[in-house]
Every structure is written in structure tokens, then in C-alpha cells.
């Protein structure tokens, strides 16, 4: 059993009402980026995972629900979209970065567990919608950024050819997608990305299904992004970026979207296999469970 598997099997936690004061999250990748992740994933699903999606969504494509979570106006779930990992830290620490399970790492684990073990059709549908979205979120590097500027939402940058500054987080939510999308639809862009994924990369990405590792990878990339533009994670004077900045990030963005899609497919494959295995053995679905506060993460486990 992998570390991802062991953590998903841990006891449930309750997200406390104190989260009502949490700030509204920024939207990772914007809707087109989330749809790209979903299309990449759907192209790679096993037959069992396709059956799972049909059972939960009917004939709707996964991309149609990829941005649903961004439209949920619930203060308790706002922190689910991100995790703040200090740049000075060696990596994610649940007790420091995910109090009461209120971060994207723990939310991925909870929703994967509900989709795998849940008995309520509505709960499983919501869990799938959350899962497809949050796997995309955690691969947007500034959704694992430093809390001093709330993952770039308080750091202003300005492009050389524009007078109006924007937030660095917005640049990574939307601006960096423009060169990749161009005049293509998200589905067309996803097909292009899917065709360029090397088998060895896909195998490596699908072999790492621990959301902690995903967050650590994004946090490391966020540190690199700040170092490249010579900025510190704090609010202050606007940093000037060259107009070519989104174009220079294209390969990096494509890799993050591809990685998210491959991993989402692998997670859904494992969940579907676990459910079908139990059904074949005559076992009823297990009650949904979530990770402990100590672990702060989770995994999909076959039983």
C-alpha cells in the first residue's frame, strides 16, 4: 500500500466553523485551463473509470463540471482551492499548512474517499466535481505559494506594454494560458497536449499519486517563478514583466496541465477499480472517510 493509499484510509476530520473568516480563493488556471486538464484526463481513462463517470455524470463530459467548484459560494470550502507553503520551508507540513484539513491537499483526499466509498449519488457527484477541479488547482504553482502575499494575490506586476498592473496570481491563472490556447478550444488544446505526452513522463506522473508530493512540486515551482522575476512574496510596488512573459512560460504551463490530467486519470482509474472490485466481491460501498488532521492528505486505495 502506497503512502497515498494509507493516508486516504485515515479517520475523518471536521472542518471547523472558524473557516467562515477565510478569504475568497483565486481561481486557478481559469475555466479554460480546468477544461484542458479534464479533457487530457478523459482521454486516458480506463474502461472502468469511463463506467464510473457515466454512472455519476451520465453522458456529460468531465470538462463540463471542471469549473463547477469555482462557483460554489461557501466560506467553509474556500480554503480547499489552495495551500500556503512558506518559501523558507522544506515542504508541506500538515499541522502548519493545513489546519483542520482546510487546504487543497486534504480536500483532494476527502473527495477521493467520498467518490470511492460513498453511497449517496449526490455526495459522489459533488465529490467528482470537486476532485476534477482540485487536482487542477494544486498543479497551478501559485496555488501552493507563500502565504505572505497569499500566493501572489497581493503582489502586483505590470507588463511592459500595459499601464494597469495585475496580480501575479492572475497572470498564472489566465495570462500564461493565452499562448497555449490561442484560437483553439480547450478540447483542441488538450488533444495537442495529450499527443505530446511522453510515455515515460506519463508513467512517472501516474506513479506519484500523493497530493503532498503534488503540492511540494508546485511550491518548488512557485519559488522558482518568484526568483526568476526577482520578487519577494509580499505586497508592494509592481514588478515589471516583459510582454513576452506568458509566451516564455508555455512549456512550463503545458507540463503542469499535462501532469494534472495524467494524475487525475490515474486517480479516477484507481477509484473505479476499487469500487468495481468490491461490487464483484458482493461488498457494499464503504462509508466515506477522510484523512486525519495529522496526515493532512490522502490517497485512493484498492481494498
Grid cell digits, residue 263: 494524475
Handedness of CA 116, 120, 121, 123 (dihedral sign): negative
Radius of gyration of the chain (CA): 19
Q: Quote the Cα angle for 176-132-151, to 5°.
A: 45
Residue ranges of the chain with pLDDT lower than 50? 1-25, 286-298, 300-303
Q: What is the pLDDT of residue 29?
A: 87
Would you state the pLDDT for residue 284?
53
**For residue 22, what are the contacts with CB-CB under 8 A and spacing of at least 6?**
75, 76, 78, 79, 102
Eight-class DSSP state of 184: S
d(CA 242, CA 259): 27
Per-residue confidence (pLDDT) for residue 26, from 0 to 100:
52
Residue 225 contacts residue 2 (beta carbons within 8 Å)? no
pLDDT of residue 15: 32
Query: Cα dist. 63→54, 100, 102, 129, 251 in Å?
Result: 13, 30, 25, 10, 22
What pLDDT sits at residue 295? 41
Cell of 183: 484560437
Residue 286 region, left (φ>0) first, then alpha (ψ -120 to 50), else beta?
beta
CA distance 38 to 36: 5
The total number of residues written for the chain in this structure: 303
Question: What is the DSSP-derived secondary structure letter of residue 182?
Answer: T
**167/153 Cα distance (integer angstroms):** 6
For 240, list phi and psi in degrees, rounded to 5: -90, 125
Which CATH code is given to the segment(s) 3-150+185-215+256-280?
1.10.575.10
DSSP state of 285: P
Q: Quote the distance between the C-alpha of residue 247 and its chain's center.
A: 23
Amino acid at each position: 500500500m502506497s503512502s497515498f493509499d494509507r493516508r486516504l484510509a485515515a479517520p475523518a476530520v471536521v472542518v471547523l466553523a472558524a473557516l467562515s473568516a477565510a478569504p475568497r480563493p483565486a481561481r486557478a488556471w481559469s475555466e479554460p485551463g480546468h477544461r484542458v486538464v479534464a479533457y487530457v484526463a478523459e482521454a486516458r481513462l480506463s474502461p472502468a473509470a469511463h463506467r464510473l463517470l457515466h454512472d455519476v455524470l451520465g453522458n456529460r463530459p468531465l470538462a463540463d463540471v471542471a469549473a463547477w467548484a469555482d462557483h460554489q459560494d461557501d466560506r467553509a470550502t474556500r480554503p480547499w482551492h489552495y495551500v500556503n507553503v512558506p518559501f523558507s520551508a522544506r515542504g508541506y507540513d500538515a499541522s502548519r499548512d493545513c489546519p483542520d484539513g482546510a487546504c487543497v491537499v486534504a480536500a483532494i483526499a476527502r473527495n477521493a474517499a467520498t467518490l470511492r466509498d460513498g453511497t449517496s449519488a449526490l455526495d459522489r457527484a459533488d465529490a467528482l466535481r470537486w476532485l476534477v477541479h482540485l487536482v487542477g488547482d494544486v498543479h497551478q504553482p501559485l496555488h501552493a505559494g507563500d502565504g505572505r502575499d497569499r500566493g501572489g494575490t497581493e503582489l502586483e506586476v505590470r507588463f511592459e506594454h500595459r499601464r494597469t498592473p495585475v496580480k501575479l496570481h492572475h497572470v498564472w491563472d489566465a495570462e500564461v494560458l493565452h499562448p497555449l490556447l490561442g484560437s483553439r478550444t480547450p478540447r483542441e488544446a488538450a488533444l495537442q497536449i495529450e499527443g505530446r505526452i511522453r510515455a515515460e513522463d506519463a508513467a512517472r506522473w501516474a506513479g506519484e499519486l500523493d497530493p503532498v508530493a503534488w503540492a511540494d512540486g508546485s511550491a518548488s515551482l512557485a519559488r522558482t517563478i518568484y526568483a526568476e522575476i526577482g520578487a519577494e512574496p509580499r505586497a508592494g510596488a509592481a514588478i515589471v514583466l516583459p510582454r513576452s512573459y506568458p509566451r516564455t512560460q508555455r512549456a512550463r504551463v503545458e507540463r503542469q496541465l499535462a501532469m494534472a490530467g495524467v494524475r487525475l486519470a490515474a486517480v479516477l482509474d484507481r477509484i473505479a477499480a476499487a469500487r468495481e472490485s468490491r461490487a464483484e466481491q458482493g461488498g457494499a460501498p464503504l462509508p466515506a472517510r477522510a484523512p486525519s488532521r495529522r496526515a493532512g492528505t490522502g490517497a485512493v486505495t484498492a481494498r
